[in-house]
Amino acid sequence: MKDIKEKRMNKNFEKYKKMSPFEIKNELIDIANKSCEIKIKKGEKVRVLNAGRGNPNFLNTLVRKSFSYLILFASELANSFKEEDLGNRPEKNKIYEKLNEFLEKKKDHIEVQFLKKAIDYSIEKFNFSPDDFVFTMVDAALGDFYPSPPRIFPLMEKILKRYLFQILGLNNDFREEMFDLFATEGAAAAMVYLFKSLKINKIFEKKDKVAIITPIFSPYLEMPTLSGFDLVEVLLQSKEELHWQVPIKELEKLKDPNIKAVYLVNPANPTSVVMSDDIMKTVVEFVKNERKDLIIFTDTVYATFVEKFHSLVKELPENVVCIYSFSKYFGVTGWRLGLIMLHKNNIIDKLIKKLPEKEKKELDKRYGMVAANPREVIFIERLELDSRDEALAHTGGLSGPQQSIMTLFALYELMDEKKEYKKKIHEKLKKRINDFYNNLKIPIPEEKGNTYYYSLIDLRKIAKIKYSKDFADYLEKNIDPLEFLFKLAEEKLTILLPGKGFAGPKWSMRISLANLPDECYKEIGKNVSNLLDIFYQKYKKQ
């Protein structure tokens, strides 16, 4: 243990300041694992508690089981050559009838019952031809053809739009045909595709400015400054004393006409709160009155964790690019299931039409290889084309099996009228945050608009609450926040992430409340509290 302590004391914490918090996490894991091995050899019963990742430890099992039956049916139906391992593409004719016969033999299984209900629900609610819909789901699940059209399967798009409408709280003022979807490999791919296409289409030029509402998921801070984009970041800093809302003064930065876009995660990561109605109203009025050309990216991956989510899409549909991922709610980060939703009358298409003729002709050459009338190719189609650099556009899009299971997840939520699944997750996360804060011995954040998926704690403020302002000042002057995190990993085998890496306060730390068993959060709260007390005892001896 002495060697580890000496190694820590000799660390130059400055070299970690420019690293992503997720890279720092790997250092913390290494230290915690080594310390854990030493403790175990001494006979201690210990474990590493890694609350640094946001990957949930809960997941939806029913949809996965039902998808397995869909794959099994599709594979058996394809086995038309009567060879054990050689099949042929199923035919559409009477495929709905064949599926019913297959499911009838296994009707006692709850996952089979769900699959049957999901298929019939889709046919009834969306007025689908039974054979058309079942063939789409079956052929996609087999993955034997490229997705066609590459952007998204049209019948699935109808279901997925209905799902997003429900999550985003889009009422009767909106019709699903007003929007288009692009199925992507999660929200991260969606952001990469958007940045790339906006640059290709001359909307983003080098040294243009993009505004970012912070704290925010750290890769979103890193993307604009990459050499491929070379954009200038303007941070709009939320304040804890305002319950992590953006001060009006910060929003005034958007008056700068050189700011081409603003993006945010709502509900936020790492603060877990939604944008308040008051702040949203201010943003809406500002865009409508002063910045009608402003592009807004909103990552809504955590929207499913709050009741009656109020989305910017509802207020500014033509300015907002909505990004969504199924990853957290259904526990499918490894599946990579995401969507981009864009209004048909969106600001990006309008800006492209206003480009100088010279730049339009350059784009004509690019999109002319895939379209007879390249200027008629709308931006959401360009996203898919650009994702494969046009020449390979026919191979683009999210794979068939991914789109198929994504559609089943959407149907699961649409059919869950009492939202029992959401209630179970909410209760689980609420218990975890209660256990964590009760053992940290400080008040729990207000519930309104909080997903409880993460918590961003400010250790300096906690020190002031639990001990004194003098002790909080001592921490500020004498201790590096990273030293606390490294010591927490080494001594308490507990891993949190530095909030500074998310553009949060210097002494803030992010804890994921989603990725460990329930009982761990009591222990994490005690570990943070105990380590803080060790520093306090050191302070008293000075």
**Residue 256 is assigned to a structural domain of this protein:** yes
Residue 252 to residue 256: CA distance in whole angstroms = 8
pLDDT at 8 (0 to 100): 44
**405 lies in some domain:** no
How far is residue 476's CA from residue 468's CA, in Å, rounded to a whole number? 13
Coil/strand/helix, residue 205: coil
Burial class of residue 388 in the structure, from the number of CB atoms within 10 Å of its CB (0-12 exposed, 13-18 middle, 19+ buried)? middle
pLDDT tens over the chain, length 542 residues: 444 444 444 457 878 877 889 899 999 999 999 999 999 999 999 999 999 989 999 999 999 999 999 999 999 998 866 677 888 889 999 999 999 999 999 999 999 999 999 999 999 999 999 999 999 999 999 999 999 899 999 999 999 999 999 999 998 889 999 999 999 999 999 999 999 999 999 999 999 999 999 999 998 998 898 878 899 999 999 999 999 999 999 999 999 999 999 999 999 999 999 999 999 999 999 999 999 999 999 999 999 999 889 999 999 999 999 999 999 999 999 999 999 999 999 999 999 999 999 999 999 999 999 999 999 999 999 999 999 988 888 888 999 999 999 999 999 999 999 999 999 999 999 999 999 999 999 988 876 789 999 999 999 999 999 999 999 999 999 999 999 999 999 999 999 999 999 999 999 999 999 999 999 999 999 999 999 999 999 999 88
Q: Are residues 285 and 389 in the same domain?
A: yes
The C-alpha atoms of residue 254 and residue 236 are separated, in whole angstroms, by: 9
Give the chain's domain count: 3
At residue 445, the pLDDT reads 80
Task: Please classify residue 398 by burial: count the beta carbons closer than 10 Å to its beta carbon, then call 0-12 exposed, 13-18 middle and 19+ buried.
Answer: buried
**How is residue 454 annotated by DSSP?**
E
pLDDT at 447: 65
- 337 occurs within a structural domain: yes
**Cβ neighbour number for residue 357 with a 10 Å cutoff:** 7
Same domain, 330 and 441: no
Amino acid present at 3: D
- Which CATH number fits the domain that encloses residue 206? 3.40.640.10
Instruction: Tell me: do 321 and 267 sit in the same domain.
Output: yes
- Residue 92 is part of which domain span? 62-145
Cα 137 to its chain centre, rounded Å, is 25
Amino acid 87: pLDDT = 85
Listing DSSP states for 263-285 in one string gives EEESS-TTT-BPPPHHHHHHHHH
Strands (E) across 200-274 are located at: 209-214, 232-237, 259-265
| 409, part of any domain | no
pLDDT at position 79:
82
Residue 413 lies in a domain: no
Question: Distances in Å between the alpha carbon of 231 and those of 134, 193, 256, 488?
Answer: 46, 16, 15, 36
| Domain boundary, last residue among 75, 110, 145 | 145
494 contacts 461 by C-beta, under 8 angstroms: no
**Contact between 124 and 379 (Cβ < 8 Å):** no
| Residue where the block lists tokens 């998204």 | 152
How far is Cα 251 from Cα 264, in angstroms, rounded to an integer?
13
Residues 226-254 have pLDDT tens digits of 878 899 999 999 999 999 999 999 999 99
pLDDT of residue 6: 42
Domain shared by 213 and 358, yes or no: yes
What span, in angstroms and rounded, lies between the C-alpha atoms of 56 and 345? Answer: 36
- Spell out the long-range contacts of 159-162 with Cβ–Cβ below 8 A and sequence spacing 24 or more: 159/122, 159/126, 159/407, 159/410, 159/411, 159/414, 160/339, 160/406, 160/407, 160/410, 161/341, 162/125, 162/126, 162/410, 162/414
Same domain, 504 and 369: no
Same domain, 381 and 427: no
User: Roughly how many angstroms between the first and final C-alpha of the chain, as a whole number?
Assistant: 25
| Residue 469, in any domain of the structure | yes
CA atoms within 13 A on the CB side of 414: 22
Residue 471 has a CB neighbour count (10 Å cut-off) of: 18
pTM of the model: 0.94
CATH number of the domain residue 427 falls in:
3.90.1150.10
pLDDT of residue 393: 80
Do 257 and 366 share a domain, yes or no? yes
